[in-house]
Structure 1
Amino acid sequence: MEMIWFALLAVFFNAFMARYFAASTADGPLGIRPNRFYMALGAACLILVSGLRNNIGDTYLYMHSYRVEDFSWSSVLQKDDIGFNLFQMLLKQYTEDPQLMIMLTALVTNALIIIVFCQYSRMIELSLYAYITTGSFIVSMNGIRQFLAAAIVFTATRALLEGKWKIYFAIVIFASFFHQSALIMLPIYFLVRRRAWTLTTMLLLSLGILIVVGYNYFSSALFSIIENTQYSGYRSFQEGGANVLRVIVFVIPLVIAFLGKDKLRRLFPGGDVIVNLSLVGAVIMIISTQNWIFARLGIYFSLYQLILLGWVIKLFREKDQRLMYIAFIGFYFLYFFYENVIVLDIRYASDYIRWPF
């Protein structure tokens, strides 16, 4: 975990400096452009720690598969998620080392996420701090293909906010070639492009609660639908539900956003869409308390919640913002320690970097 702690400190510091030395701009909702030098340093820390690992989640399986698979055109075309397999086929023309595949995936995933944060997160250091402390960074090293797809979809944020559905749909469909679950974001376009905290909000939350109460019926129907797809194996998934504490962590920013909804609309005109995306993610997290596999879908929405986290401090009175900033840092630090050290006991390993270097 030492390298993860190092990444947390280095990324937060550089992102804070990037905002401190930001330049004014009339482009976008922020009014500022984070300093590129410090953002590049922060991004490099994330990418190197992620890209040089050889464990965490499915990393070993991806590396083993890269070594032994025959990525011929015939095999690639027969498999699902053709985009990722095509990427591996092309890469294997140049190297047999799977570490480069891990590095390039980490580079693209984290770079895309940081670029969008720079455009839409008012306090980018908090978004990146939460990216690590809420576990999203570690999940990106586990569900490699799906998080890559989520990062690609994330780049369509501007198209989503501006109602450019052709661009948005094209990006989502492209992302689905890396993980088919990205297609869930197509109907989401029509659901979230509306004012937050309306009847739709209540219906969404009610739906989540109803699914939890009637989970046995819901799961039977869902798994029957996906029975003949690549996700049919999830029917036998028996690792229990997501931690309730994770759901609480996901919901807290939404509670603050609700209490400060009018101020958020003044500060961030596109905030309603981001709030609605976070709400959908919260509903999915509520459902995932019954079966953890549903939290996988939450990956697509967690990134928007991180944008929201970059605004919540600004919703408090100015005299309270410093205290809430410190409280934010402390709360997410404790959650990160509990979840990843006490509960999951995450161990980081690399053939290239070791603490203390």
Structure 2
Amino acid sequence: MSIKPNKFLAFGVLFSLAVISGLRSNIGDTYFYKHSFEINNYTWDFVKSQKEIGFGILQMILKRYSSDPQILLLTTAIITNVLIIIVLYKYSRMFELSTYVYITGGWFLVSMNGIRECLAAAIVFTATKFLIDGSWKRYILVVLFASTFHESALVLIPIYFLSRYRAWSKATFILLGLSVLIVLGFDKFSSVLFSAIKDTEYGHYQNFNEGGANTLRVAVFGVPIIISYFGREKLRGIFPESDYIVNMSIIGFIFMIVSTQNWIFARFSIYFELYQLILISWIVKLFNQKDQRVVYYLILVCYLIYYYYESVKSLNIIYQSNYI
């Protein structure tokens, strides 16, 4: 039986997310986006000179209406959150839990930092139906469109074909094994990788030296995947399309494992964490009926503690707005 949340309340969630994100004045690289929007003259010649032409066109259109950079923040926040919430509404077993983890898991905060990349991720996320149906041509078209906002979206093209395997098949364990080998031989791997991308906009990451991703973040990413492994047969029974969602989550976990050696690889996990939001909403149902309530509340408590640790203790995030 299909279970859908109240549309009015779901809209209320969407409205609050868009307003809080869109009316901010700080967080991450928000300042640089605002500054760029203010100083640049978005003519066609200027837009065509940019690598991500889609984002340039969006800014060109917005600047015709206002030179206030808040219009850029508000518009991108609305688009990003609308696209994500629509997909969660359609595929999540427990919409409220997916939305809760969207916030406490950190993706909502990340969307206020990497505007272009998160916008691209949200666009690709809308192609979940094509991923499930195996409509690779339509999926790739969506990815190509998303890449006009951030080129990193192109990584989803080869990953589409990897995700089409049955979850937890030999291919899954080969990928996990490769990720461990990459970590063990990271110096060799990184020299080959950065040599290959040195002439792209990502070439400067060769000198990126801010250490690896927090191991706690990797663990938080991995726990739902481990649970889905032990309940894989039941998951297929209650959610037949779960293989593709699980595969995308696993690939994101692989990027997170590699990111323990260099944080920059965690940026690619942005595209896959959204699928984990769907997965988390289903894993509660993998437990016995009498245990589901406990598991549900345990998820709420654990993610709240994680959110406090990440946002307050680790990153010391202080939200600011000129409107709220």
User: TM range, normalised to the smaller chain?
Assistant: over 0.9
Q: Does 1:88 align with 2:59?
A: yes
Q: Does 1:260 align with 2:250?
A: no
- Find the counterpart in structure 2 of residue 345 from structure 1: 316
Length, aligned pairs only = 324
Listed as ranges, the gaps of 5+ residues in structure 2 are: none
1:142 aligned to 101, 113, 116, which one? 113
- Find the counterpart in structure 2 of residue 240 from structure 1: 211
Q: Which amino acid in structure 2 is aligned with residue 250 of structure 1?
A: F
TM-score between both structures, scaled by the size of structure 2? 0.99
- Find the counterpart in structure 1 of residue 283 from structure 2: 312
Q: Cα deviation per residue 1:75-122 (whole Å; 9 max; x = unaligned)? A: 111111110011101111111010011000000000100000011000
Shift of 1:188: 1.1
- Find the counterpart in structure 1 of residue 40 from structure 2: 69
Q: Does 1:327 align with 2:315?
A: no
Q: Contact 1:112 / 1:152 at 8 angstroms: preserved in 2?
A: yes
Q: Which amino acid in structure 2 is aligned with residue 214 of structure 1?
A: G
Q: Which amino acid in structure 2 is aligned with residue 43 of structure 1?
A: L
What does 1:82-231 align with in structure 2 at a 5 Å threshold? 82-231=53-202
Q: Which amino acid in structure 2 is aligned with residue 106 of structure 1?
A: A
- Find the counterpart in structure 1 of residue 307 from structure 2: 336
What does 1:270-309 align with in structure 2 at a 5 Å threshold? 270-309=241-280
CA distance in 2, matches of 1:41, 1:139: 21
Shift of 1:32: 2.2
Q: Which amino acid in structure 1 is aligned with residue 68 of structure 2?
A: D
Q: Contact 1:257 / 1:264 at 8 angstroms: preserved in 2?
A: yes
Deviating beyond 4 angstroms after TM superposition, the runs of 4 or more aligned structure 1 residues are none
Q: Cα deviation per residue 1:96-149 (whole Å; 9 max; x = unaligned)? A: 010011000000000100000011000111111111111111100000000000
Shift of 1:200: 0.7
Percent identity over paired residues? 54
CA distance in 1, matches of 2:65, 2:173: 53
RMSD: 0.8
Shift of 1:33: 2.5
Q: Which amino acid in structure 2 is aligned with residue 266 of structure 1?
A: G
Q: Which amino acid in structure 1 is aligned with residue 323 of structure 2?
A: Y
Listed as ranges, the gaps of 5+ residues in structure 1 are: 1-29
- Find the counterpart in structure 2 of residue 58 from structure 1: 29
Shift of 1:69: 0.8
What does 1:15-26 align with in structure 2 at a 5 Å threshold? none
Shift of 1:34: 2.1
CA distance in 1, matches of 2:62, 2:22: 15
Q: Which amino acid in structure 2 is aligned with residue 243 of structure 1?
A: N
CA distance in 2, matches of 1:247, 1:110: 24
Q: Which amino acid in structure 2 is aligned with residue 322 of structure 1?
A: R
Shift of 1:194: 1.8
Q: Contact 1:80 / 1:230 at 8 angstroms: preserved in 2?
A: no
TM-score between both structures, scaled by the size of structure 1? 0.90
Report the secondary structure of 1:279's partner residue.
helix
CA distance in 2, matches of 1:221, 1:128: 39
Q: Does 1:39 align with 2:10?
A: yes
Report the secondary structure of 1:297's partner residue.
helix
Q: Cα deviation per residue 1:212-241 (whole Å; 9 max; x = unaligned)? A: 001101111111111111111111111111
Report the secondary structure of 1:32's partner residue.
coil
Q: Which amino acid in structure 2 is aligned with residue 136 of structure 1?
A: W
